Amino acid sequence: MVGIDGDCLVGLRFTENAPTDTPEQFDTPIADETRQWLDMYFGGDIPNWIPKHKLNGITPFRRATIDAIKQIPFGTTISYKEIANKVSRKIGVSRVSARAVGGAIGWNPICIIIPCHRVIGAHGEITGYNGGIKNKIALLRHEGVRID
């Protein structure tokens, strides 16, 4: 499912159901830009840009978490704890829990492009993903991440 607000992408999620968006939303420059990004990604290229997007209703904590996720390179993973450490430094607090980071990551409305699938458990375990664990594993394998 794709969400578009004017000239910005606001949502991208896996869905088993038919899209609820209006057909007109799919004939826009941002829809074309998003398709181009996804075609590159699934075609084996590494896009070096992100489609124009906005994150509605984002808190400063979520912003810091999303910013950290955007920095995870293609084909690599990072733990929730490592993201929590980055976020705590960015927002100037002594500690942020990995669970709080997990909640912020679960909020991410633009999956794949904002690569929350690259965040894993502290011991390398594949943990929750709004798009489903099967899809998380498939995305990581697509990026060449070895899954035991």
8 is catalytic: no
Rounded CA gap, 111 and 88, in Å?
Answer: 23
Query: Active-site residue among 116, 120, 139, 140?
Result: 116
Question: Is residue 108 within 8 Å of 118, Cβ to Cβ?
Answer: no
Residues whose CB falls within 8 Å of the CB of residue 83, separated by 6 or more in sequence, listed in order: 65, 68, 69, 98, 101, 105, 119
Give catalytic residues, as residue numbers.
Answer: 116
